[in-house]
Amino acid sequence: MNCNVSVKTGGRMADIKPFRALRPRDDMVERIAALPYDVYSRKEAYEKVHDDAYSFLRIDRPETQFPEDHDMYAQEVYEKAASMLQDMQNTGLLVEEATEVYYIYELAMDGRSQVGIGACVSVEDYERQVVKKHENTRTEKEADRIKHIDLCNAQTGPILLAYRRRERIEDVVREVMLRTPVYDFLAEDEVTHRVWIISEREKIELIRQEFAQVEAIYIADGHHRCASAVKVSQMRRAARTVHTGTEESDYFLSVLFPDDQLMIMDYNRVVRSLNGYTAAEFIKALAPVCDVTAIGREPFRPGRKGEIGMYLQNTWYCLRIKDERYTDDPVENLDVSILQRDLLGPLLGIFDPKVDKRIDFVGGIRGLEELARRVDTDAAVAFAMYPTNIHELFAIADAGRLMPPKSTWFEPKLRSGILIHKI
C-alpha cells in the first residue's frame, strides 16, 4: 500500500496517515520522555533539565541551555534545539522507524486508562475545519513553536485529538494490545505510558479507511502546537514551486482518542482581591447569581454542572447557579462562562481574564488544597469548577464557537519525545 494516497471520501472526511516516527531507543524512553513544554515555568524547566540531562525538555525548552537571563526567543536558542535533536539521532538515542506505521499510545492514571492512535493528521483538514478547535491561540506563543518546528524540521510534541468512537478501530487496537508493547514505563507523576506498533498493511488500511469516514476531529489539548505546525506547513507550501499536498510538513503529529475515554479535569480560578468588597459584602452580592451555602473547612468539590466551590476566609462554600442564568447558547451555558459573565466581570472587575494579572488559573491536577493554599497566602478567593465535559466541547466546536480561556484541563498529558515527526 502507498501510505501517501488519500482515501478521503467525497473530499470531506479525515485524512489520518501512518508515519515513520523518530523515537527513543527502548532502554532510554523513560529518561527521554518529558511532559509538554508549556506545563513548566522557566524556572521549573531549568530545574528539570538540571536533574536529568537526557530529558527531552532540553529540546522543547532549549533556553535551558543558556544563562537564565538569555533571550529565550533568540535565533541561537532554536538552533541549539535543532543541533541537540540531531545529536540524539547521531548517537543512537533516537531511531527512525523503518516504515510508515500507526502507533497505539496508552496512558493509565489512578486506575483508568485511555488508548489513542499515534498518527499524522492533514493540515488541509485543519484549514477546512474537519479538525475543529475550541480555543483561540496567542500570536506570541505561536511564534515560539513556529520557530521551534521550522528550525528543528520536526514536530516534537503530539496534539491530543478526540473523535467519536468507531468500533472497528477499537477492534484493531484491542488485538494489537495483546502483544508486548515496545515501551512500558511508569513516569515520575505516576502515569503509565505504553506504546505498540501497528505495522500490518491490512490493519493500517482499515484504520485509515475508518478515519476517512470521520466527519469531525476535535483538538482537545495542544491548540498552539497545532496552529504552529499548520503555519510552518503554509510557509513551506508557499516556498515550493511544486506542491503535492503529501509532503511531511503537510501533516501534523497527533494522538487521536475516542471520545468516551478522555477525562477533562476542573480548571479552577484564583483571584487576588475582592475589588473593594468585604467578605460579607461579596457573599451578599452573589445572591442574584447563585444560592450560597457555607460548608466549613472541609474542601468542597462540585458534584454536578451548576455547582461551584468557593474558598473565602478559611471557609468553603457551595455556590449553586440559579436556573435563570442558563440559556440555550452552548458557550454561554458553560459554568465557566456564567462565572465570568455574571461574577468575575461585574463583581470583581475582571473583564479580560487572558490579560488581567489579578486572576490565576489552576489545573485540577493540583487539587483543591492548592486553591486553599493560595487564598491563605497571596489571594482573596478561589473558585473550584465542575469539569466541562467532552460533549460540551464537541457542541461548541461544531457550532464554530470558542470556549472561554482555560475551560478544560486534560489529564493525563501526552509525553513529548516518545513520538517525533520529522518534516
Where are the chain's structural domains?
Answer: 16-262+412-422, 267-386
Identify whether the C-beta of residue 45 lies closer than 8 Å to the C-beta of residue 242. Answer: no
Query: Residue 368: pLDDT above 90?
Result: yes
Element (H, E) at 118: strand 112-122
Beta-sheet strands, E only, within 158-289:
159-163, 183-186, 192-198, 217-221, 251-258, 264-265, 267-271
pLDDT of residue 242: 84
Per-chain mean pLDDT for the chain: 93
Report the chain's C-alpha Rg in angstroms. Answer: 23
* pLDDT-based confidence at residue 379 (cuts at 50, 70, 90): very high
Identify whether the C-beta of residue 219 lies closer than 8 Å to the C-beta of residue 163. Answer: no
Query: Residue 7: pLDDT above 50?
Result: no
pLDDT of residue 137: 84
In sequence order, which residues have a C-beta less than 8 Å from that of residue 191 and are 6 or more positions away?
107, 108, 109, 412, 413
Burial 266-284 (b: 16+ CB within 10 A, else e): bbbbbbbebbebeeeebbe
* pLDDT-based confidence at residue 5 (cuts at 50, 70, 90): very low
pLDDT of residue 139: 86
Name the burial class of residue 107, with classes exposed (0-12), middle (13-18) and buried (19+) by CB atoms within 10 angstroms of its CB: buried
pLDDT of residue 316: 98
Query: Residue 110: pLDDT above 70?
Result: yes
C-alpha neighbours within 13 Å on the C-beta side of residue 416: 22
pLDDT of residue 12: 55
pLDDT tens track for 305-354: 999 999 999 999 999 999 999 988 989 999 999 999 999 999 999 999 88
Identify whether the C-beta of residue 103 lies closer than 8 Å to the C-beta of residue 119. Answer: yes
* Max Cα–Cα distance, the chain, nearest Å: 70
What cell does 182 get?
Answer: 515496545
Query: Residue 179: pLDDT above 90?
Result: yes
pLDDT of residue 108: 97
Identify whether the C-beta of residue 337 lies closer than 8 Å to the C-beta of residue 388. Answer: no
Q: What is the pTM of this model?
A: 0.88
Alpha-carbon distance 319 to 313, whole Å? 15
In sequence order, which residues have a C-beta less than 8 Å from that of residue 164 and are 6 or more positions away?
214, 216, 258, 259, 394
pLDDT of residue 27: 96
Q: Is the peptide bond before 288 cis (omega within 30 degrees of 0)?
A: no
Query: Residue 138: pLDDT above 90?
Result: no
In sequence order, which residues have a C-beta less than 8 Å from that of residue 422 and are 6 or more positions away?
20, 22, 96, 153, 154, 248
In sequence order, which residues have a C-beta less than 8 Å from that of residue 355 and are 6 or more positions away?
none
Q: Which of 10-14, 114-118, 147-151, 243-247 has the lowest mean pLDDT?
A: 10-14
pLDDT tens track for 336-349: 999 999 999 999 99
Q: Phi then psi for 89, rounded to 5 degrees?
A: -75, -45
Average pLDDT over residues 202-213: 97
Amino acid identity of 224?
Answer: H
Query: Distance from CA of residue 410 to its chain's centroid?
Result: 6
Amino acid identity of 248?
Answer: E
Burial 141-155 (b: 16+ CB within 10 A, else e): ebebbbbbbbbbebb
pLDDT of residue 398: 93
Element (H, E) at 16: strand 16-17
